[in-house]
């Protein structure tokens, strides 16, 4: 049996996981008045990266081999492997998207819009949809029909281990990872814009991404508590955002400087055009005066 309080939390967290990402995206749209196409591209790239990850995961984890047995029996190595695969596919996806598909959106707000779209669809699928499935499976278990399904023993054991505290920590960890994904988008966006720092920033993004996966593996291995895993995830998020916020601020300063220079250049061009037009008017006036004197 799964308690009513756990089931209520499952449904509430699922609903929140669907609603909050949309609220964040709408709030960002109202604040910036920017085109939301980068957010849609971010969501699409995330879905594509998930599909790409399925291929190596099926070959390495899905087939019964000594490697798959070893990884599946070692939560730390499993999370490390999943983190590396996700980091490679998602950061390369970000890089390709920023470099080739979003040339029309050169401003720094594009990085945040993309990050929100990426994080929103991830939150909906990983937390919202998963908890909704758990809720339906828990309802079947309480009705006594789930245990009749073949191979449901491990699922039943997982459902019976669910606690309200664990669900809340998982939901908060999802919120932390939401923010981390926005920070990673800023790092990769700057990597596309700055060729000198490209390799370093891409490496930072991948390291932070992998680091965000490790606390969960340490918890599943029972090396640390659930709350400690959450604290480590906050630390990874804070480290990512510390670097990302500084980069975002510098990008803003550079964009203002470029805008200032463009306005200055435009003013000089306008002044030059007015000077040429004034000279032409002066020449025309002199010609008319000469004609009048000759007459």
Q: What is the DSSP letter of 8?
A: H
| pLDDT value, residue 208 | 95
Burial class (CB within 10 angstroms; exposed 0-12, middle 13-18, buried 19+) of 221? middle
Write down the pLDDT at residue 149.
64
pLDDT of residue 292: 60
Q: How far apart are CA 223 and CA 226, in angstroms?
A: 10
Contact 82, 5 (CB under 8 A): no
Can you give the pLDDT at residue 128?
93
Q: Do the Cβ atoms of 86 and 49 come closer than 8 Å?
A: yes
Contact (CB, 8 A) for 105 and 68: no
Q: Around Cβ 8, how many Cβ atoms within 10 Å?
A: 13
- The reported pLDDT for the residue numbered 95 is 95
Do residues 127 and 17 make contact, with C-beta atoms less than 8 angstroms apart? yes
pLDDT tens, 97-129?
Answer: 999 999 888 889 999 999 999 999 999 999 999
Given a cut of 70, the residues of the chain with pLDDT beneath it are 147-151, 267, 271, 275, 277, 280-281, 283-295
148-172: per-residue pLDDT in tens? Answer: 665 677 788 888 888 999 999 999 9
Report residue 229 CA to chain centroid gap. 21
**pTM of the predicted protein model:** 0.85
Q: Which residues contact 187 (CB under 8 A, 6 or more apart)?
A: 201, 202, 204, 205, 208, 240, 243, 244, 247
Q: Residue 177: which of 107, 116, 266 has the closest Cα? A: 116
pLDDT on residue 29: 92
Q: CA–CA separation, 234 vs 177, rounded Å?
A: 9
Q: Tokens representing 59?
A: 């070959």
- Predicted confidence at residue 26, as pLDDT, reads 94
The tokens for 48 are: 């594509």
Cα distance between residue 9 and residue 2, in whole Å: 11
């Amino acid at each position: 049996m799964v308690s009513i309080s756990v089931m209520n939390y499952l449904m509430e967290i699922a609903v929140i996981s669907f609603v909050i990402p949309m609220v964040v995206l709408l709030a960002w749209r109202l604040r910036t008045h920017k085109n939301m196409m980068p957010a849609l591209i971010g969501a699409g790239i995330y879905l594509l990266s998930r599909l790409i990850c399925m291929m190596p995961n099926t070959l390495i984890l899905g087939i019964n081999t000594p490697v798959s047995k070893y990884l599946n029996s070692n939560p730390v190595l499993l999370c490390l492997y999943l983190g590396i695969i996700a980091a490679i596919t998602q950061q390369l996806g970000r890089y390709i998207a920023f470099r080739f598909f979003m040339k029309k959106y050169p401003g720094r707000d594009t990085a945040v819009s993309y990050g929100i779209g990426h994080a929103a669809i991830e939150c909906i699928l990983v937390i919202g949809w998963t908890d909704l499935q758990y809720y339906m499976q828990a309802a079947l278990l309480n009705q006594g029909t789930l245990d009749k399904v073949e191979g449901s023993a491990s699922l039943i054991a997982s459902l019976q281990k669910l606690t309200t505290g664990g669900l809340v920590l998982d939901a908060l960890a999802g919120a932390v990872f939401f923010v981390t994904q926005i920070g990673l988008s800023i790092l990769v966006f700057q990597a596309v814009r700055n060729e000198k720092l490209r390799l370093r920033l891409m490496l930072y993004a991948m390291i932070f991404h992998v680091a965000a996966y490790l606390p969960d593996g340490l918890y599943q291995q029972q090396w640390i508590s659930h709350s400690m895993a959450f604290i480590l995830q906050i630390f990874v998020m804070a480290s990512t955002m510390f670097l990302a916020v500084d980069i975002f601020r510098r990008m803003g300063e550079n964009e203002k400087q470029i805008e200032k220079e463009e306005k200055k250049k435009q003013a000089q061009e306008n002044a030059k055009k007015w000077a040429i037009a004034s000279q032409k008017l002066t020449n025309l006036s002199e010609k008319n005066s000469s004609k009048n004197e000759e007459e």
